[in-house]
Chains A and B, each alone.
Chain A
Amino acid sequence: MQPKLGLTGWLRWFWRQLTSMRTALFLLLMLAIASIPGSLVPQRTSDPNGVTQYFTDNPDLAPILDKLQAFDVYTSAWFSSIYLLLFISLIGCVIPRTKHHFQALRAKPPTTPARLGRLSGFTTQDAPAHTDARDAITHARTVLKSSGYRVARFDSDTESSVSAERGYLRETGNLVFHAALVGILVTVGFGGGYGFSGQRVLVEGQTFVNTLLAYDSFNPGRFFDDSTLDPYTLSLDDFSVSYEQRNLQAYGQPIDFTADVTVTPKGEAAEPSAVKVNGPLRTNGTSIYLLGNGYAPTIQVTAPDGTVVFSDSVPFLPQDANLTSLGIVKVPDGLAEQLGMIGFFYPTQDKAASGANFSSYPDLEYPLLTLNVYTGDLGLNAGVPTSVYALDTDTLTQQTGGKTDVASIELKPGESAALPGDLGTVSFVDNNPTASAAGDFTQSVPRFASFDIHHDPTQIWLISFSLLVLFGLFTGLLVPRRRVWVKATTRIDGTVHLEYAGLARGDDPALEAAVTTVADRHLKLLKTHQPVVAHPESI
């Protein structure tokens, strides 16, 4: 009859399985395989538009994949369970090893084996004449100690030996590596909870105050307290772009984006600064990143009675490398009807053979704004939040462009046009009419920059753990752990026979060379310490 495993027995069995190297290896390989789908299918966190597109393109497959959490692979139940099991396995493996290592660190090297002949780098030598076996081992001990070995000597009537071990740092590094990985996991898991990230678009000349309401979007961590936001102000003074103009292969490629900003901490003096693509601005506990930019044409809508009902620089979203840009204007109040406009902006307008407009260069060489006008219900009255970058045309009637037979409104900076149905006029305000009059349009349209503002107090922890990971890898993989023994036996004739040997504990390509070096140094030391006066018994 087989003995029955009780509950604790089963648990112990399960724990032993989980913490075995074989399971850890299996989980590692599972982790690698489980990561692959996230690179094949768009992920909500990194590519939300891709996910939407995927649903449109694969209406049948997408919902099934969604059930399997294929669009959130890295937070999915199955992916999480693999890495959590892996880390439990890792912790279960590391704790006993740490204990064991602490004991090893305090223990003496083990007794010298009776036979060294079978070990690595085994060498025998005859000690110089008149050497005493115990003295020889004392010298061997010195040699080994000076090479960083921990030593223990063993003496008997016939032989003396020293047992030495080095490279404890290998196991230390190993344990540090694994512990630091746990540190990284914990920091990543909980760290995000203490920070926030927010986005804000600023047109040249605009100012933003670091408060909750001023953000276009704001994602606080679970443990983040909004009231701790430091209310500094950030103004975008100027956004400058330089384009490649000499190299025809890369003509028009942007080579620099610089957002000149002014930061004013509460109650302090204003400080001019700059944000660049690879140069975030670290200020007041936040990091400000420059993640996007484009044009924000200044558009003004005037009612027939001359009242200005809309006047704003509207950020237009770039659609291609030459900054053909798309923007939306919504005028809910002040006109006879609610007015919506879909605008295209071409910084350097050109016409294709088909008659369609396009932009042929990203800078302001020959700017043109075209507007398709819609009237009707903008859908703003229901109180449902709507995007400022989208216009729902279902409840609107198109008045210009498209299939209406009425040409789109086309405006150059400084021009105005009448809105259809005597609604009023729309103007494309020129930011610098004098320069434009002289043919230089580069100042006519303001630019906008979109900033990401982040606060993550745990990054310093992450860096520290990462450095520990590297330290652990270097030492855990490259420091050789080895044992070396030196044994001295006195023969019947009084001469001393020396034996040297080593044992690798882990990968150790240089073990044999190390044993040889120890032997060489030892013999040299023995020779220099050879007694000048012969031993009394040999006289």
Chain B
Amino acid sequence: MNLTDSALLNSYSLYALYSAMAVYALAFIAFAVDLARRSSAVGAIEAAELIETDAASPAGFTASAGSTVTLKRPVLSRISARMDNDAALPYGRSSSLRVGVALTVLAWALHLAATIMRGFAADRVPWANMYEFAMTGTLLIMTVFLIVLVRSDLRFLGTFVTGLVLVLLGVAALQFYVEVAPLPPALQSAWLVIHVFVASLATGMFALGFALSAVQLLQFRRENSALEAAAAPRSAVASALRLRFLATLPSSATLENLSYRINIIGFILWTFTLMAGSIWAEQAWGRYWGWDTKEVWTFIIWVIYAGYIHARATRGWRGSRSAWLSIIGFSAVMFNFGIVNVFFKGLHAYSGL
């Protein structure tokens, strides 16, 4: 491809990427509105139930409890009794949630177009420097999210996923941007295609696992305070004021199972990344393992997730403790991507910065 075409295509890629970011931002807002609506719906019910109990108590209010109670169920619509919808207060798909998903799909299409055009502009796979890793990596996070949506209803994670992708793309476009450059000889290998792609895919899985674990922890706290609430009704309502939308999300046990299933796929992919990397390292550097900083961190992440999987089978470690491991694991992935690539010295010096 001649240079002017390449430059033109790259500028189209940038337009598409910025458009994708704008649409992701709109999707983020829609998802956030959905969470707010969930909170207020839950709030309405709790208020109604409070009035109910107070009315029942001898010294209670004399307010027209009956009219408020009628609010209780119509606000919430039952959804199918699939196992991942065992929410305390099941909540259907609000219009803002639908808008959020639709916008995410649109943004994803623009994001995909941006990535493909960058690849054609460079005449190679679009993941050979930090800017391109970030672009392709976030595209894969989003792709994994959209694919998982087909199978289980994780739409409530939309705020997190669009938020994360938006932040990463913003940093990439502003801090990591580099012009199209040819591949240095060290990267001219089929393993670039396999190793980096699978690593990005694993990152997508870990991101979702992380989000589910984080929600799991919040949910666990809510469930505990709900239990306390049963013991001491009045004080608990105050503590449950924050993040009321959690009542419309699956139970912490279900979130834990979902997180586990996504994280084990990520772990298998990460294991493959590590092995493919070793094979490539043997070809390019003459040794399959040399404790290069990036290798060290890849290993650390592998060990953390191995620990996470074992934690699920260890008494006393199921639940919140294993969730923390999933959170630490993904933090290490982000550290490996954002900090090790840019600030640490080592052989994986391909950030292009």
The interface residues of chain B lying within 8 Å CB-to-CB of A256 are 185, 188
What are 21 A-B interface contacts by the 8 Å CB criterion?
Answer: A21-B315, A29-B303, A29-B307, A32-B307, A45-B291, A46-B346, A50-B345, A247-B6, A247-B179, A250-B181, A255-B182, A255-B185, A256-B185, A278-B186, A279-B283, A280-B283, A280-B286, A289-B284, A289-B286, A469-B275, A473-B268
A25-B314 CB under 8 A given contacts A32-B303, A39-B344, A278-B189: yes
A497 nearest CB across to chain B (Å): 25
The interface residues of chain A lying within 8 Å CB-to-CB of B181 are 244, 247, 249-250, 253
Q: Are A249 and B180 in contact (CB under 8 A)?
A: yes
Query: Contact string, A17-51, partner B, CB cutoff 8 A, digits 1/0?
Result: 00001101100110110011011001101110010
A507-B179 CB under 8 A given contacts A32-B303, A188-B289, A469-B271: no
Contact of A474 among B268, B293, B340, B346 (CB under 8 A): B268
The interface residues of chain A lying within 8 Å CB-to-CB of B291 are 38, 43, 45-46, 73-74
A410 nearest CB across to chain B (Å): 32
How many angstroms between the C-alpha atoms of A243 and B344 in the bound complex?
Answer: 28
List 20 additional A-B contacts (Cβ < 8 Å) besides A247-B182, A254-B185.
A21-B313, A28-B306, A28-B310, A35-B300, A39-B340, A197-B286, A246-B3, A249-B180, A257-B185, A276-B185, A280-B283, A289-B284, A452-B286, A454-B286, A462-B288, A463-B279, A470-B268, A470-B272, A478-B268, A509-B257
Q: Are A35 and B3 in contact (CB under 8 A)?
A: no
B267 at the A interface (CB under 8 A): yes
A62 at the B interface (CB under 8 A): no
CB proximity to A under 8 Å, residues B151-198: 178-186, 188-189, 191
A466 at the B interface (CB under 8 A): yes
- From B191, which residue of chain A is reached at the shortest CB distance? A278
A32-B300 CB under 8 A given contacts A278-B186, A474-B268: yes
Contact of B186 among A24, A277, A452 (CB under 8 A): A277
A141 nearest CB across to chain B (Å): 29
A287 at the B interface (CB under 8 A): yes
Q: Are B307 and A247 in contact (CB under 8 A)?
A: no
Q: Are B264 and A477 in contact (CB under 8 A)?
A: yes
- From B302, which residue of chain A is reached at the shortest CB distance? A32
A386 at the B interface (CB under 8 A): no
- From B276, which residue of chain A is reached at the shortest CB distance? A466
B282 at the A interface (CB under 8 A): yes
Query: Contact string, A64-85, partner B, CB cutoff 8 A, digits 1/0?
Result: 0000000001100000000000
How many angstroms between the C-alpha atoms of A280 and B347 in the bound complex?
Answer: 18
A291 at the B interface (CB under 8 A): yes
The interface residues of chain A lying within 8 Å CB-to-CB of B275 are 466, 469-470
Chain B contacts to A: CB under 8 angstroms? 3, 6, 83, 178-186, 188-189, 191, 257, 260-261, 264, 267-268, 271-272, 275, 278-280, 282-293, 296-297, 299-300, 303-304, 306-307, 309-317, 340, 344-347
The interface residues of chain B lying within 8 Å CB-to-CB of A43 are 291
The interface residues of chain A lying within 8 Å CB-to-CB of B188 are 256, 277-278
Task: Sort chain A's interface into a size bin.
Answer: 35 or more
How many angstroms between the C-alpha atoms of A188 and B288 in the bound complex?
Answer: 10
- From B179, which residue of chain A is reached at the shortest CB distance? A249
A459 at the B interface (CB under 8 A): yes
How many angstroms between the C-alpha atoms of A474 and B267 in the bound complex?
Answer: 10
How many angstroms between the C-alpha atoms of A256 and B293 in the bound complex?
Answer: 26
B332 nearest CB across to chain A (Å): 8
Query: Contact string, A262-303, partner B, CB cutoff 8 A, digits 1/0?
Result: 000000000000001111100000010101000000000000
The interface residues of chain A lying within 8 Å CB-to-CB of B180 are 247, 249
Contact of A255 among B6, B184, B304 (CB under 8 A): B184
B3 nearest CB across to chain A (Å): 6
How many angstroms between the C-alpha atoms of A161 and B182 in the bound complex?
Answer: 68
The interface residues of chain A lying within 8 Å CB-to-CB of B290 are 45-46
B185 nearest CB across to chain A (Å): 4
CB proximity to B under 8 Å, residues A186-233: 188, 197
A75 nearest CB across to chain B (Å): 10
B269 nearest CB across to chain A (Å): 10
A36-B317 CB under 8 A given contacts A278-B189, A470-B271, A473-B271: no
Contact of B310 among A24, A45, A257, A507 (CB under 8 A): A24
Q: Are A287 and B286 in contact (CB under 8 A)?
A: yes
How many angstroms between the C-alpha atoms of A256 and B184 in the bound complex?
Answer: 7
Q: Are B310 and A31 in contact (CB under 8 A)?
A: no
The interface residues of chain A lying within 8 Å CB-to-CB of B307 are 25, 28-29, 32
Q: Are A32 and B304 in contact (CB under 8 A)?
A: yes
The interface residues of chain B lying within 8 Å CB-to-CB of A255 are 182-185
The interface residues of chain B lying within 8 Å CB-to-CB of A277 are 185-186, 188, 284
A170 nearest CB across to chain B (Å): 12
Q: Are B268 and A507 in contact (CB under 8 A)?
A: no
A405 nearest CB across to chain B (Å): 40
Contact of B185 among A24, A278, A454, A462 (CB under 8 A): A278
